Amino acid sequence: MAKRKTLRSDLAWATPERIFVKGHDLCDELLGKLSLGDMAFLMLTDRVPTAQESIVFNALALTLVEHGLTPSAIVTRMTLAGAPEAMQAAVAAGLCGLGSVFVGSMETAARVLQEALPDPKAKADLDALARDIVAAHVGRKHAIPGIGHHFHKPVDPRAPKLFEIAQANGFSGRYVELMQKIAHEAERTTGKTLPVNATGAIGAIASELGMPWSIVRGVGVMARAIGLVGHIREELANPLAREIKTRSEEEATSHRR
Amino acid sequence: MAKRKTLRSDLAWATPERIFVKGHDLCDELLGKLSLGDMAFLMLTDRVPTAQESIVFNALALTLVEHGLTPSAIVTRMTLAGAPEAMQAAVAAGLCGLGSVFVGSMETAARVLQEALPDPKAKADLDALARDIVAAHVGRKHAIPGIGHHFHKPVDPRAPKLFEIAQANGFSGRYVELMQKIAHEAERTTGKTLPVNATGAIGAIASELGMPWSIVRGVGVMARAIGLVGHIREELANPLAREIKTRSEEEATSHRR
Amino acid sequence: MAKRKTLRSDLAWATPERIFVKGHDLCDELLGKLSLGDMAFLMLTDRVPTAQESIVFNALALTLVEHGLTPSAIVTRMTLAGAPEAMQAAVAAGLCGLGSVFVGSMETAARVLQEALPDPKAKADLDALARDIVAAHVGRKHAIPGIGHHFHKPVDPRAPKLFEIAQANGFSGRYVELMQKIAHEAERTTGKTLPVNATGAIGAIASELGMPWSIVRGVGVMARAIGLVGHIREELANPLAREIKTRSEEEATSHRR
Amino acid sequence: MAKRKTLRSDLAWATPERIFVKGHDLCDELLGKLSLGDMAFLMLTDRVPTAQESIVFNALALTLVEHGLTPSAIVTRMTLAGAPEAMQAAVAAGLCGLGSVFVGSMETAARVLQEALPDPKAKADLDALARDIVAAHVGRKHAIPGIGHHFHKPVDPRAPKLFEIAQANGFSGRYVELMQKIAHEAERTTGKTLPVNATGAIGAIASELGMPWSIVRGVGVMARAIGLVGHIREELANPLAREIKTRSEEEATSHRR
C-alpha cells in the first residue's frame, strides 16, 4: 500500500462547546460582528478585511449578484418547476453554467494581469506589457478579456463605478492601471470602442486585493448563488418557467406537426 | 394554441447606461453602499434592511457558511479533482446535498412555526401550540425539527448566541418564544436534553424577520456557496480529495482482491 | 473515537490486470457481449437479465430517453451556452429537475403499488386495494400517481404499448393489474377519463421486474442522461438557448424600460 | 428589437396520439425493438446502428459505466446522504466531476486524432502524424492523451479488448492505427511503457464510428449516469458516505483540537 498523506484542513473545527472558523471563535468573535461579505473575504484571504477592503470587496461581489433573466436564472427556475422539493439543486443547476462565456472572463482578466505582473511592486513597463498582451491575443485570434460589452455601450457603467470605489479606498494600483492600458491599446489597435467592462474591472480590483486569479471566479459563483435564491422566491410567487418551456417547445417542433 | 401568460420579472432590468436591481440603481445606490449580506436580504424581502435587521440577518447567514469537512465540502473537493476547469460545477455539486437531512431542518422548523402561528401578532396560546406540535410529531414518529444535536451537546452554542443577537436587536418575538417552548415541551415529554439547535434558532429568527418558510433554506444555500469556495481555495493549495478516494476505494474492495 | 464501520462495496473492483463489475470480468464476460441496457439492469438488480427481462427493461428505459424540449433539455442547453467546456455539468444541470413533478411520479406509482402489495404472490383483493388507494388519495386531496395526462389524451399511447410488451414477455402480473384497477376506480369515482399513463405503466412494470420503488426514479435519470447528450449535440449544431434567453428577458423586463 | 431566429428542434415531437423520436414512431418502431444502447447511438448519430455498430458502441459505453469507488461515486453517495429525497441531484453531482482529468481524456484523444486526420479516407502518412503529435505534446509539456495508466500496468486490459471487438466488427481503421502509432512513438521517445489505455481506445473507436470529438465525452457521461444509479442502490442498502465523512473530518481537524 502506498505511503499515505495525512488529511489536514484549517478552515474550521469544532468541539462540543465551541466552533472555530479560520481560527476565530464563531460565537464569540464572528456572529453579530462580521457581515456575510466580510466572511466571504475571510474565506478567500485568511484575514478579516479592513474597512477599506470591505467596501471594495463587497462592491465587487454585489456587482455579480443579479442581472435579470440570465441563462443561469432561467435554469434555476426551470429546475425548480420539476423539483420544487429540492431548491438547493435548482440553485446548483443555475451555477453550472457560470463557465468560460460569462463569469469566466473575470478569471481570465485576472490571470492575464497577474501573469504579466506577478509582483505588483516590481518594476515593470506597463505600456509594453499592455502592447504585448493585446498583440498576443490578436495574434492567436483570442478575445481580450475584460473589455467591451455587447449591450452596455459605449461604456459598461459598472466599471467606472468600481474603479472609483477602488480609488477612494486605496486599491487603484498597477493592476487597475494595466487593465486600463490594455483597453486603450485594444482600442488603438482595432479602432473600436472597447472600454474596460465589469468583468475586467473585477479581475483588476480582485488582483489589487491580493486574490489569486484561480479563485476569482469564485466571487462570481458565491454572488450569483444569492441572486438565484432571489429568482426562486420570484418564481414561487409568479412562475415563468412553464410558459417559457411551452412556447419554446411549440415553436421548435411546429414544423413537424 | 392556448392563451398565453405574459412573462414578467421585477428583480432586475437594464438599459445600456444603467442597471436596476429591485428598483435601485446598481451603480448610484448600491455599489459601495450596500454589503453583500444586505443585498441578500434585499433579494429575499424587497427591502434594504434596517441596521438591526442587517445585524440579525448577517448573523443567521454567517452561521451556515462553514462547518469544516462536511459532506458538501468533500463533494466540492472531489468534483474539483476531476474537473478543475469548472469550479462553478464543483460548488454546484456541493450544494446538491443541502437537502432534508442537514440544511432542510431549518426550513422545517420555520414551517412548523409559521403554520402554527400564521400571524405572529394574533392572539395565541403558545404553550398549547407547543404541546400540540410535540404531540403531533411524537404521534407520527417524526423528528421534531430544530432541537438537539448529535455533537454539540448538551447545548449547540450557536443557538443561544443567535437568540442573544436577535434579542438585542428587537427580533426576539413569538416565533422565538414558540421555538423555545417546543424544545422545553420535547424535553418534558421525552426526558432527554433537547435544547434548540442552530437550525431551530435560524428557523425561528428568520420567521421573526418576516421570511416565508419556503425560502428559508435559501439562506443556507447562499451561505454554503461562500464556504465551498473557501474549500476550493484550500483544496487547490493542499488537496485532500484523491487521498480520501484512494483510501476509501482500497478498503471497500479489499475483501475482493 | 467512535467505533468504526468498515467500508465495503461490491459493485466493482480491480487488479492491475483485470476489472470486475458485479462479479463479472469486464473484459472477458461483459464487453462485446452485454448491451448498455442490460448492464443497467445488472446494476439495478445484480443479475444479467433474461431475454424477456431485457426486452421489457429496455422498453421502460427507452420511453424516458427523449421527449423534446422539456425543461431538463432547455436547462442543459442554457448551461452549455455558458460553460461549453463542461458538457458534463450541462447534463448534470438538466438532471437536477427530474424531481417530484415529472419523473418522480413513476417512483410514487411504484411505491403505492409495492406498499399495497409487498409480496406480489400473497393473497390479496386487488379491487379492495384499488378502492382504498383511490379513497386515501382523494381524501387527502393528493393526486393519484400514474394516471391521466395533460397532453396525451384520452390515452397516453406509451402505456398500452408498454403493457403489451410486458404481457408478451411474461411480466404482466398483479402490479400491472392493480395499476389498471386503480385507474378504473379513479375514473369511476371522479367521472373523468384517467387511463394509466407512461409513468404509471413504468412504475407497475418495474415492480413486476422486482425493482424496489426506491430505485425506480433512477431508470428515468439514466435514460434522460442519454437524451440530454442528444440535446447537447443538437445545441452545438443549431443553438436555441440564447434566443430563448433573449426573448424571455426582453419580454419580462419590457414594462420597466 | 433585433430580428429573431426561429427556434427549431428535430429530436422529438408529439401529437396527443403519437410520439416521434428522431423521426421514428416511439411506440410502433422503437419500444420493444431497440435497446437502450442503440437508442443512445441514435441520439448521437441520427441512425439506428447496424448490428456491428451496435456491438462496438455498446462495448465502448459499457466500459465507462462502473469503476468502483471513483470520486464521482463518492460524490453521489455523499450527496444522497444529505438529500435522500432528490436522487436525481445525487447523480447530477456525481456527473459534475467528469471533466478534464478523468473522462475528458477520451474527448482529447478523439480530438487529436480527428484534427490530425479530418477525413479518414484521405491519403496521410500516419507515422509522420504520430511523430508530429508526440513532438508537439512533448514540446508544450502537455500529456499525450489516451496512453499509459497509473494502475492498470503494463497494459490497461480494456484497450486490447476494445480494439479486438472493433476489429471483429469492421471498425479498426486509420484512427485506431494512428492511436497505436502515437503510443509507440511516445514509448520510443520517452523510453517508458505507454500503451494505449481505455480512454485512448474509446477516443479512437468513437472516431471510427463517425462521432465528432465534441460529443465523445457524452458517451462517458451517459454511461456513468447508469453506474451512479447503481451506487445509489448500494448506498441505500449499505451506506458508506457518513463513515467516510466522519473519518476524514476527524483526521483533518485533529491537529486543532
Please check whether residue C230 touches A, CB under 8 A: no
pLDDT digits (tens, 9 = 90+) for C159-211: 999 999 999 999 999 999 999 999 999 999 999 999 999 999 999 999 999 99
Question: How far, in whole angstroms, is CA D77 from its chain's centroid?
Answer: 21
Mean pLDDT computed over B197-204: 97
C191 Cβ contact partners less than 8 Å away, ≥ 6 residues apart: none
Q: How far apart are CA C65 and CA C58, in angstroms?
A: 11
The grid coordinates of residue C65 equal 430517453
Q: Is C245 near chain D, with CB under 8 Å? A: no
**C125 exposure class (CB count in 10 Å sphere: 0-12, 13-18, 19+):** exposed
Residues of C in contact with A86 (CB under 8 A): 96, 99
Grid coordinates belonging to C92: 448534470
Nearest to A257 among D15, D89, D253 (CB): D15
- Find residues 18-47 of chain D whose CB sits inside 8 Å of chain C: 18-19, 21-22, 26-27, 30-32, 34-40, 43-44
**Which residue's entry shows cell 482500497?**
B250
Segment C136-161 mean pLDDT: 93
Please report residues of B whose CB lies closer than 8 A to that of C257.
Answer: 13, 15
Compute the average pLDDT of residues B104-123. 95
- Kindly report the nearest CA distance between residue C162 and chain B, in angstroms: 30
**Chain A interface disruption, residue of D253, D254, D255, D257, most A CBs within 10 A:** D253
**Best residue in A4, A5, A8, A26 for a mutation probing chain D (most D CBs within 10 Å):** A8
Q: What is the pLDDT of residue B102?
A: 80
Contact of A222 with chain B, judged by CB distance below 8 Å, is answered with yes
Burial class for A81, CB neighbours closer than 10 Å (0-12, 13-18, 19+): buried
Instruction: Kindly list the partner chains of chain C, i.e. chains with 3 or more CB atom pairs below 8 Å.
Output: A, B, D
What's at B165, amino acid-wise? Answer: I
d(Cα A85, Cα A103) in Å, to the nearest integer? 28
Q: In chain D, what are the domains?
A: 9-47 (no CATH), 50-241 (1.10.230.10)
Quick one: residue D148, left, alpha or beta (phi over 0 = left, psi -120 to 50 = alpha)?
left
| Structure confidence at residue C1 as a pLDDT band (50, 70, 90) | very low
**Helix, strand, coil tally for chain B in percent (to 5):** 60, 5, 35
Of D97, A241, A145, nearest to B88 by C-alpha is D97
Q: What pLDDT score was predicted for residue B250?
A: 92
Cα–Cα distance for residue pair C62/C53, rounded to 1 Å: 14
Indicate the residue type of A35: S
The x, y and z cell numbers of residue A26, run together, are 464563531
User: Parallel, antiparallel, or unpaired for β B24-25 and C12-14?
Assistant: unpaired
- With CA atoms as reference, the chain C residue closest to A247 would be C244
A252 near D CB under 8 A: yes
Closest residue in D to B249 (Cα) is: D69
Amino acid (1-letter code) at residue A16: P
- Could you say which DSSP state residue C24 is in? E
Query: How far is it, in rounded angstroms, from Cα C219 to Cα C215?
Result: 7
Percent of chain B with pLDDT strictly greater than 70: 99
Identify from B251, B256, B257 which residue to disrupt to test chain C contact, counting C C-beta atoms within 10 A and taking the largest count. Answer: B256
pLDDT digits (tens, 9 = 90+) for C238-256: 999 999 999 999 999 988 8
Rounded CA separation C9/A75 (Å)? 35
Structural contact between residues A21 and A11, judged by C-beta atoms closer than 8 angstroms: yes
Cβ atoms B64, A226 nearer than 8 A: no
Subunit contact B256:C13, Cβ cutoff 8 A: yes
pLDDT, greater one: D174 or C4: D174
In whole angstroms, give the CA distance from residue C83 to residue C225.
18
How many percent of chain C have pLDDT more than 70? 99
Find which of A248, A255, A256, A257 to mutate to test the C interface (most C CBs within 10 Å of its CB): A248
- Run means of pLDDT, 10 residues per run, chain A, 257 residues: 78 94 96 98 96 98 95 98 97 97 91 97 96 95 92 94 98 98 96 95 98 96 98 97 94 87
Q: Is A101 on the interface with C (CB under 8 A)?
A: yes
On the question of pLDDT at C85 being above 80, the answer is yes
What confidence category does residue D102 fall into, taking pLDDT thresholds of 50, 70 and 90? Answer: confident
B152: which 3 cell numbers?
454539540
SS3 B51: helix
| Mutation target vs C (from A74, A150, A256; most C CBs, 10 A cutoff) | A74
Residue in chain D closest to A10 (alpha carbons) equals D253
Indicate if the pLDDT at residue D141 is higher than 60.
Answer: yes
Q: What is the mean pLDDT of chain B?
A: 95
Q: C78 to each of C69, C83, D197, D221, how far by Cα in Å?
A: 12, 9, 34, 18
Q: Please state, in angstroms and rounded to a whole number, the distance separating the CA atoms of residues D68 and D59.
A: 18
Digit-coded pLDDT (tens) for B6-37: 999 999 999 999 999 999 999 999 999 999 99
Contacts of residue C80 in chain A, CB cutoff 8 Å?
Answer: 97
Would you give the distance in Å from CA C188 to the centre of its chain? 28
C93 CB near a chain D CB, below 8 Å? yes
Instruction: Give the pLDDT of residue D207.
Output: 98
What whole-number distance in Å separates Cα of residue C56 and Cα of residue C34? Answer: 16
**Is the omega angle on the peptide bond into residue B154 within 30 degrees of 0, that is, cis?**
yes
Distances (CA, A) of C116 to A246, C119, C163: 36, 9, 20
Place of cell 473575504: A41
Kindly state whether B51 is in contact with chain A, defined as any CB-CB distance less than 8 angstroms. no
Q: For A238, which residue in chain C has the nearest alpha carbon?
A: C252
∠ CA A164-A169-A171, rounded to 5°: 80
Q: Is the Cβ pair A226, B21 closer than 8 Å?
A: no
Decide: helix, strand or coil at residue B184: helix
B236 touches chain D (CB under 8 A): no
Span D44-85, pLDDT tens digits: 999 999 999 999 999 999 999 999 999 999 999 999 999 999
Of the pLDDT bands very low, low, confident and very high (cuts 50, 70, 90), residue B112 is: very high
Q: Is C256 on the interface with B (CB under 8 A)?
A: yes
Phi/psi of residue C19, each to 5°?
Answer: -130, 130
Which residues from B are below 8 Å from C253, CB to CB? 9, 12-14
Mean pLDDT confidence for D30-39: 98
pLDDT, averaged across chain C? 95
Closest by Cα among B69, A86, B80, C225 to D89: A86
Per-residue confidence at B71, pLDDT binned at 50, 70, 90? Answer: very high
Q: Which residues pair with D12 in a beta bridge?
A: D21
Q: How far is CA C177 from the centre of its chain?
A: 20
C88 contacts D97? CB cut-off 8 A: yes
- The answer, for C51 touching chain A at a CB cutoff of 8 Å, is no
Among residues C81, C183, C52, C46, which one has the least CA distance to residue C127? C183
Closest partner CB to A81 (pick from C71, C86, C93): C71
pLDDT at B1 over 90: no
Across the interface, of A13, A89, A248, the residue whose CB is closest to D253 is A13
pLDDT at D1 over 50: no
Q: What percent of chain B has pLDDT over 90?
A: 93
Q: Locate all alpha helices (DSSP H) within B3-103, ordered by sequence.
A: 36-45, 51-63, 71-82, 87-95
R_g of chain C, CA atoms, integer Å: 21
In this complex, is the C-beta atom of B53 within 8 Å of any C-beta atom belonging to chain A? no
CA D59 to chain centre: 11
A238 CA: distance to closest CA in chain D (Å): 24
Q: What is the ipTM of this complex?
A: 0.96
Cell 492523451, residue?
D145
| C chain contacts of residue A75, beta-carbon cutoff 8 Å | 75, 78-79, 93
**Cβ atoms B256, C12 nearer than 8 A:** no
Those chains having 3 or more beta-carbon pairs within 8 angstroms of chain B are A, C, D
Determine whether the interchain pair C252/B85 forms a contact, defined as Cβ–Cβ distance below 8 Å: no
